[in-house]
Structure 1
Amino acid sequence: MFRHCLAPLAAIAATAMPAAVIAQGQSADLQLVQTHLRGLSTMTADFSQTDRAGKVLTGTLTLKQPGKLRFQYEKGVPLLIVAEGGALTFIDYSVRQVQRWPIKESPLGVLLDPTRDLTRFASVVPGADDRLLSVEARDPKHPEYGRITLVFARNAAGPAGLTLQGWVALDSQNNRTTVRLSNQRFGTLVSDGTFRWNDPRRSGGRR
């Protein structure tokens, strides 16, 4: 839903614009996103997650650079996703199951490693609304990692004038997950303890 098709008049205007000018603008936008990610120390937000079946879950997102992320789902949902120590961990407390994989092999890696050069694996997605900036990131050498389209709003209140609005992630099986963010807050104090979690395989508890 975050992808935007060019309106007919906009498409005509784009074809009339020199390719070099378009490329220059896209390069500047990628650099802007890179600057935003590198300037993003912490962010908290409310999220709404929609899976391929249309099921919607809500909760709170906490991000701390470098490499820390927590999806705390709404009360009654026995799931938790935490990124820390170079790994992304999915915990299902209902069945006491824990799955881990390297962050770099997840589409979310683009958010959690701001040192990576976006120009090597990302491109700007054209859109009709100049207030939004969409960037698709994928590793052409590893299509099994999936891909992610990040959507930003041009907002002076955010780092580098951008605010992350959400993303659409596709895994290697083309399973789509859409995440929308609201109530974004930047630069708040976030303790490293936020990213600790209880292992249900040992305690049977949840956090």
Structure 2
Amino acid sequence: MHRRALIAFTLAPALALAQTQPRRAAPPPAPPPAQRGSTVLAGAERAAVLGRVEAYLGGIRTLKARFLQLAQNGATAEGTAWIQRPGRMRFDYDPPTPMLLVASFGQFLFYDRELRSPSVVPTSATPLGILLQENLRLSGAVTIEEVAREGGFLAVTLFRTDSPGDGRLTLIMDETPMQLRQWVVLDTQNRTTRVTLSRIETGLTFDTAIFAFNDPRFFEPGGLGAPQR
């Protein structure tokens, strides 16, 4: 696969699978073994931590950060991320990576600026879309597979209850004060992609136009938007 396509799809590998494979009920991929030194939480402690995580995530309305993306094959990319809940996200990759990811109106849209090719899949086709839900709940439609603590960090691994075959998402957070620092996507072929956030700002006001995608081909002379003779 072309390197650009790999970079685009490794942000949320389940999106690529949704484009190329039929949806089907399947067990989620096997989780990686727990990290040495981590403590897997259970019982009342697990429930209390999940309650705090749910309240924290549900309280995020806007977030802006720099991101560093690391694919399993070692490929890296970075850029700026904007999230506005519910339903909106923008990942703008720094050059030379010619990719843009925009989420709005229930869809993820990938755009390759060099190939001038957009690809669209539903936000419901990946566990990453869980972060954009208006009423974010870590139960019912979301299955929590594991909650672990290690060195002041929490790791919460989850998948969509009705479509476990879409992959798995692990959220990694500072515990005190709680802050989302990283997420890891594991796809059905056991490929992982890690996205690390830095310079995080919350509570900002965004121009909603940044979450819109206007295909430049429509605005070129003789382009897709030109009158047809």
State TM-score, norm by structure 1: 0.81
Question: 1:171, CA displacement in angstroms?
Answer: 2.1
Match of 1:128 in 2: 150
Determine the C-alpha separation between the residues in 2 that align with 1:31 and 1:3: 24
After superposition, the Cα gap between the structure-2 partners of 1:199 and 1:139, relative to the gap in structure 1 and judged at 3 Å, is: same
Match of 1:111 in 2: 131
Matched position secondary structure for 1:32 = helix
Question: 1:198, CA displacement in angstroms?
Answer: 2.9
Match of 1:193 in 2: 209
Question: 1:200, CA displacement in angstroms?
Answer: 4.8
Q: How does 1:58-73 map to 2 (within 5 A)?
A: 58-73=78-93
Structure 1 vs Structure 2 CA RMSD: 2.4
Determine the C-alpha separation between the residues in 2 that align with 1:200 and 1:24: 53
Give structure 1 stretches of 5+ with no counterpart. 15-20, 157-161
Matched, 1:139 2:155: no
Match of 1:82 in 2: 102
Determine the C-alpha separation between the residues in 1 that align with 2:122 and 2:186: 17
Q: How does 1:6-17 map to 2 (within 5 A)?
A: 6-7=36-37
- Contact map agreement 1:152 1:164 (CA 8 A) in 2: yes
Question: 1:202, CA displacement in angstroms?
Answer: 3.6
Matched position secondary structure for 1:75 = coil
Determine the C-alpha separation between the residues in 2 that align with 1:57 and 1:203: 29
Matched, 1:163 2:196: no
State TM-score, norm by structure 2: 0.74
After superposition, the Cα gap between the structure-2 partners of 1:197 and 1:148, relative to the gap in structure 1 and judged at 3 Å, is: same
Matched, 1:5 2:35: yes
After superposition, the Cα gap between the structure-2 partners of 1:6 and 1:127, relative to the gap in structure 1 and judged at 3 Å, is: farther
Larger mean Cα displacement after TM superposition, 172-181 or 114-123:
114-123
After superposition, the Cα gap between the structure-2 partners of 1:193 and 1:139, relative to the gap in structure 1 and judged at 3 Å, is: same
Question: 1:72, CA displacement in angstroms?
Answer: 0.7
Matched position secondary structure for 1:168 = strand
Match of 1:152 in 2: 173
Matched, 1:30 2:50: yes
Larger mean Cα displacement after TM superposition, 66-75 or 119-128:
119-128
After superposition, the Cα gap between the structure-2 partners of 1:63 and 1:91, relative to the gap in structure 1 and judged at 3 Å, is: same
- Contact map agreement 1:90 1:100 (CA 8 A) in 2: yes
Determine the C-alpha separation between the residues in 1 that align with 2:132 and 2:214: 22
Determine the C-alpha separation between the residues in 2 that align with 1:104 and 1:154: 28
Please give the per-residue CA displacement for 1:19-40, whole angstroms capped at 9, x wherever unaligned: xx93111111111111011110
Aligned-pair identity in percent equals 31
Matching residue's letter, 1:52: Q
- Correspondence for 2:115 among 95, 117, 133: 95
Question: 1:144, CA displacement in angstroms?
Answer: 2.6
- Contact map agreement 2:65 2:200 (CA 8 A) in 1: yes
